[in-house]
A and B are shown apart, each in its own frame.
Chain A
Amino acid sequence: MRWSLRRISAVWAAKITEKISIHIFRRQGAAWAGKIALKICPSILHELAGQVGRGIFAVCGTNGKTTVNNLLCAAIEAEGYRVVCNHTGSNMLNGIASAFAVCAGLDGNLKADYACIEIDEASAGRVIRHFRPDYMVLTNLFRDQLDRYGEIDTAMKILGRVMRQAPEMKVVVNGDEPLSAFLAMDSGNPCITYGIHDPVRACDPFREIREGRFCRRCGTGLDYHFYHYSQLGDYYCPKCGFQRPGLQFNACNIEFGKELTFTVEDKRIHSAHKGFYNIYNILAAYAALRTAGLGGKHFARVAGSYEPENGRMEEFWIGGVRVMLNLAKNPAGFNQNIDVVMQDENIKDLLIVINDNDQDGRDISWLWDVDFERLKRTATGSVMVSGLRCSDMMLRMKYAGIASEIEADVRKAVKRSVREGCGNLYVLVNYTALYDIRNILRNCR
Chain B
Amino acid sequence: MDTADMKLTIGHLYPDLLNLYGDRGNIVCMVKRCLWRGIRAETIEFNMGDRVDFSKLDIVLLGGGSDREQKIVCRELRRIRREFQRYIEDNGVVIAVCGGYQLLGRYYRTKDDIIEGLGLLDIYTEQGDGRLIGNIVLDSEWSDVPVVGFENHGGRTYIGGHKPFGRVLYGAGNDGKSGYEGVVYKNVTGTYLHGPLLPKNAQICDHLIKKALERKYGPVQLKKLDDGMEMAANAYICSRFAGRKRATLV
Contacts and interface: CB of A to CB of B under 8 A. Distances in A.
A367 B233 CA distance: 14
B22 A365 contact: yes
B150 A362 contact: yes
Contact of B16 (A146, A213, A366): A213
B233 A392 contact: yes
Contacts of A105: none
Contacts of A210: 16
**Interface residues of A: mostly helix, strand, loop or mixed?**
helix
B199 interface: yes
Contact of B196 (A146, A368, A391, A394): A368
A409 interface: no
Nearest to A391: B233
A151 B21 CA distance: 11
Contacts of B66: 151-153
Interface stretch (B4-12, B23-31, B111-119, B156-164): B23-31
A147 B196 contact: no
Contacts of B19: 209, 369
Interface in B186-210: 194-196, 199-200
Contact of B29 (A362, A367, A399): A399
A367 B229 contact: no
Contacts of A146: 20-21, 152
Interface in A399-443: 399
Interface in B201-225: none
Given A368-B22, A391-B229, A399-B25, A363 B152 contact: yes
A399 B200 CA distance: 11
Contacts of A221: 48
B244 interface: no
A81 interface: no
Nearest to A221: B48
Contacts of B195: 363-365
B58 to A, nearest CB: 20
Interface string A265-290: 00000000000000000000000000
B135 A365 contact: no
A147 B22 contact: no
A367 B196 CA distance: 9
A394 B195 CA distance: 14
**Interface residues of B: mostly helix, strand, loop or mixed?**
mixed
Interface string B43-70: 0000010000000000000000011110
A37 B69 CA distance: 43
Contacts of A362: 133-135, 150
A151 B233 contact: no
A367 B152 CA distance: 16
B249 interface: no
B229 A369 contact: no
Contacts of A199: none
Given A153-B68, A213-B16, A365 B150 contact: yes
A228 B23 CA distance: 24
Interface in A371-395: 389, 391-392, 394-395
Contacts of B194: 363, 365
Nearest to A389: B236
A143 interface: yes
B32 interface: yes
B233 A363 contact: no
Given A219-B72, A362-B135, A368 B28 contact: yes
13 contacts: A151-B67, A213-B17, A219-B72, A221-B48, A362-B133, A362-B135, A362-B150, A363-B194, A365-B25, A368-B196, A394-B233, A395-B230, A399-B25
Given A363-B150, A392-B200, 16 more contacts: A147-B134, A147-B152, A151-B20, A153-B68, A362-B134, A362-B150, A364-B195, A368-B22, A368-B23, A368-B196, A369-B24, A394-B233, A395-B229, A395-B232, A399-B25, A399-B29
Q: Ordered nearest first, which 6 A-B pairs have the shortest CB separation?
A: A368-B25, A368-B22, A365-B22, A151-B66, A391-B233, A365-B21
Interface of A: 143, 146-147, 151-153, 209-210, 213-214, 219, 221, 362-369, 389, 391-392, 394-396, 398-399
